[in-house]
């Protein structure tokens, strides 16, 4: 099983209704999108991204040197994993089910991968790199016990917050002060093609921060990436996000109800606080993409054969899906 495939190829028939992507279907926000389109592609960005780091640091209430830009979440995962390996850590704990890149990055470095379930805390007996995803991909669930994430002395705790801006209900859980935070706003903004993210380093681990910085390539971010990150914490962007969450809550309830009528197995509504969740069709699926231009996310790469991860889309796409599922 190659988790790097992320559930399947994007080649093939055109996708009209993409239920496989976790991107916000309402994005991008207009003003931020205008900034991305107006980005100056004729010149290199500042390779140190000083103004960007100042902006993000102010938004998060940290020092600018604790902001480490990255060329997307996957690149940050690879770089943090390599830094952990160089520190001498040989063990990585990952949520199961969970995003496959944590294990893929560790496996490429010869690190031992250990899994832990959503209803337990990892219990490494030696220094380890410990990953959490809040809310979790693929199930969309949130955990209240993240503040208890820890390991033996020398361990590194990292929390992937890619879907935190898309949490539709509940309060954000407290995070341990010693954790690394990975912020990837492109999904919440509906801009998956703009590969830009950043790590927020804990205050106490300056040595690891320097190692991660030393592993970075020159010019990690494009001009478009700088523009997106520079404006994503703007007041108007955050107001747009709040409005989109309200709309997604309504659409999600409608979509879950439609699937329930067709006999799909779905977790309790509280199992997912995001616009995506895990579901199992009541019957074998027809060839949705070939015949109807509909794509679902096969969850086999998460270790969940016969399940799909399904994202919320507007009512017209929901009706197209229901019509296709009833067509044999």
Chain centroid to Cα 69, Å, comes to 16
Contact 278, 139 (CB under 8 A): yes
Closest CA to 279 of 235, 244, 312: 312
**Spatial separation of the C-alpha atoms in residues 133 and 111, rounded to whole Å:** 20
**Spatial separation of the C-alpha atoms in residues 198 and 233, rounded to whole Å:** 13
> Which pLDDT tens digit goes with each residue over 245-254?
999 999 999 9
What is the model's pTM?
0.94
Query: What tokens appear for 304 in the block?
Result: 């969940």
**Locus of tokens 């998956």:** 192
What DSSP line would sit under 219-247, residue for residue?
S-S-HHHHHHHHHTTSHHHHHHHHHHHHH
Weakly modelled stretches of the chain, pLDDT under 70: 1-12, 269-270, 328
Query: What per-residue confidence (pLDDT) applies to 270?
Result: 67
> Which pLDDT tens digit goes with each residue over 195-243?
999 999 999 999 999 999 999 999 999 999 999 999 999 999 999 999 9
Query: What tokens appear for 21 in the block?
Result: 């992507």
Max Cα distance, the chain (Å)? 60
Query: What tokens appear for 162 in the block?
Result: 């890619």
- Residues β-bridged to residue 295: 18
**Spatial separation of the C-alpha atoms in residues 8 and 10, rounded to whole Å:** 7
**Spatial separation of the C-alpha atoms in residues 7 and 12, rounded to whole Å:** 14
What DSSP line would sit under 147-183, residue for residue?
GG---STT-EEEEE-TTGGG--SSPPPP--TT-EEEE
Query: What per-residue confidence (pLDDT) applies to 316?
Result: 98
Residue 3 CB neighbours (<10 A)? 18
Mean pLDDT of the chain: 94
């Amino acid at each position: 099983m190659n988790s790097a495939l992320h559930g399947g190829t994007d080649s093939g028939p055109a996708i009209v209704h993409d239920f496989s992507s976790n991107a916000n279907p309402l994005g991008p926000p207009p003003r931020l999108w205008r900034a991305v389109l107006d980005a100056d592609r004729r010149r290199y960005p500042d390779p140190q991204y000083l103004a960007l780091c100042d902006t993000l640091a102010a938004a998060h209430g940290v020092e600018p040197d604790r902001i480490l830009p990255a060329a997307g979440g996957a690149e940050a995962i690879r770089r943090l994993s390599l830094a952990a390996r160089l520190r001498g850590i040989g063990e990585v704990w990952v949520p199961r089910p969970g995003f496959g890149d944590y294990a893929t990055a560790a496996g490429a470095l010869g690190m031992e991968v250990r899994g832990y379930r959503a209803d337990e805390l990892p219990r490494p007996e030696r220094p380890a790199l410990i990953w959490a995803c809040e809310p979790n991909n693929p199930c969309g669930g949130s955990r209240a016990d993240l503040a208890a994430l820890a390991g033996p002395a020398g361990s590194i705790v990292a929390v992937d917050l890619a879907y935190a801006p898309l949490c539709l209900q509940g309060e954000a859980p407290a995070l341990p002060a010693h954790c690394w935070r990975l912020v990837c706003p492109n999904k919440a903004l509906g801009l998956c093609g703009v590969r830009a993210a950043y790590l927020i380093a804990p205050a106490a681990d300056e040595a690891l921060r320097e190692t991660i910085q030393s592993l970075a390539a020159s010019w990690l971010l494009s001009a478009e990436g700088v523009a997106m990150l520079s404006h994503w914490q703007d007041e108007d962007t955050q107001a747009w996000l709040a409005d989109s969450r309200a709309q997604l809550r309504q659409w999600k309830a409608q979509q879950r109800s439609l699937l329930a009528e067709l006999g799909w197995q779905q977790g309790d509504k509280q199992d997912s606080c995001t616009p995506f969740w895990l579901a199992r069709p009541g019957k074998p699926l027809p060839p949705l993409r070939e015949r109807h231009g509909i794509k679902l996310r096969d969850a086999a790469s998460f270790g969940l054969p016969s399940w799909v991860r399904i994202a919320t889309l507007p009512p017209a796409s929901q009706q197209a899906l229901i019509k296709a599922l009833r067509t044999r």
